[in-house]
Amino acid sequence: MSAASRTSEQQSAPRRQPTPAEVLATPVEFVRGVGPQRAAMLARLGVRSAGDLVFLFPRDYEDLSDRREIGDLDEEHVQTVRGEVVEIDARSSGFGKSVVGVLVRSLTPSLSHGEREYEHLRAIWFNQPFMREKFREGQHLLLSARPRFRGGRWEMPHPRVTWLDGPDDQPEMRLLPLYPLTEGLTQYQVRRMVASALENFSHVLEEVFPESLLREYDLMPLAEALPAIHSPPDAEELERARRRFVFQELFILQLAVVARRWQQQVGFRAPMLEASAEINARIERLFPFEWTAGQRTAIGEIAADLASETPMNRLLQGDVGSGKTVIAVYAMLVCVARGCQAALMAPTEILARQHAETLGELLRASRVRYLLLVGGMTPKEREAALAEIAAGNIDLVIGTHA
């Protein structure tokens, strides 16, 4: 075959289409509206790819369902107004107290006798002098609070503020998403970047749940849930979208737990520590009391687990004083009888010392060697203890989780 033929054949070979994972891994700077400078800012939020931006869920939502003009406000409930900052005032009222006032005028002036007449509202913050630095004249913003009419003018004490990027920033959603921010980024910018990522990259996402499961649990499909979590038309749709992603997160967590358990049962082999009749009798003689029926049942189940090659993964549940420690000591003594070391961990040093005292009484007539390992030991004591454990001279170690 000639070189020309090979070249022609190579050129006609179809190009491999990128996988969805590769598409979502596109560096975020190549998302329309981002660029290198904003990509560096997004990296501080942990957003480095288009997929990260698609799944940058809002941290909260601004309820814009009751947006009013300043002249239409009432004192009944929380309302939202839009306006432009025209004056900023900060003053001290003595005794370390301060007041910051921001005068806002409506962006839709009314006409009175052919002349423009703006309506005004004053936002006030008490003892928050830092709020003065957040505003400048000419800013456009949304203020949300329960208003009050004072001195012939509407006021909003300590309103929630949403800064806008000018008069053309027209949020149309009833619930406005509020994203995590970092220095240099505004909500308006992040909303536009997220919307761009959704428009250009979300189409490659594949539904992870079968249709039957979506129907059984009444889950919103992924293609509907993503837009609804970012731009919910109402509270009901937002709740449905949230429920979908919470279900998905818990489902994945459960899968991970099942996979881990399967890996332990199939991928690992534990030493077979059989509690023979002789071992069982020797251990039981150490206890100065008869085991209860419940304790014997639990001990029998744990003994069966220890005798198996499958690693034991068991939770022992019981009321305070029901004798759970007795069962733990039994399991450890089976390990020691079969030539292994065991550890008993407690959440606090006080509890660890109490367990050590209990074990000391039980093992008084035994050759089992035990040691207390806690944070209160001196470095020299700790070093010596660790050396004894590593050398195999200690059978049981009692200590804290730390």
Task: Kindly tell me the burial class for residue 72, based on how many C-beta atoms sit within 10 Å of its own C-beta (0-12, 13-18, 19 or more).
Answer: exposed
Residue in the block written with tokens 């009419």: 149
The stretch 386-399 carries a mean pLDDT of 91
Please count the CA atoms within 13 angstroms of the CA of 226 that sit on its side-chain side: 20
pLDDT bracket for residue 190 (50, 70, 90):
very high
Beta bridge partners of 124: 101, 157
pLDDT bracket for residue 317 (50, 70, 90):
confident
Query: What confidence tens digit (pLDDT) does each residue in 256-276 have?
Result: 888 777 766 666 777 888 888
Task: Kindly tell me the burial class for residue 168, based on how many C-beta atoms sit within 10 Å of its own C-beta (0-12, 13-18, 19 or more).
Answer: exposed
The stretch 187-203 carries a mean pLDDT of 92
Residue 359 is encoded by which pair of tokens? 């074990």
Residue 63 is encoded by which pair of tokens? 């309820």
- Look at residue 171 and tell me whether its pLDDT is greater than 80: no
Residue 216 is encoded by which pair of tokens? 């059984």
Alpha-carbon distance of 343 to 168, in angstroms, equals 66
259 to 122, 245, 249, 311: CA distances (angstroms): 58, 21, 15, 14
Please count the CA atoms within 13 angstroms of the CA of 81 that sit on its side-chain side: 28
- Look at residue 114 and tell me whether its pLDDT is greater than 60: no
Residue 98 is encoded by which pair of tokens? 């301060």
71 to 102, 116, 122, 144, 324: CA distances (angstroms): 17, 15, 13, 15, 69
Total-model pTM: 0.52
Write the DSSP symbol of residue 137. Answer: T
Alpha-carbon distance of 1 to 184, in angstroms, equals 60
Q: DSSP string spanning 296-356?
A: HHHHHHHHHHHTSSSPP-------TTS-HHHHHHHHHHHHHHTT--EEEEESSHHHHHHHH
365 to 5, 156, 238, 276, 278: CA distances (angstroms): 90, 77, 66, 20, 17
Alpha-carbon distance of 373 to 381, in angstroms, equals 9
Which is nearest to 124 in space by CA: 154, 95, 166? 154
The confidence score (pLDDT) of residue 180 equals 92
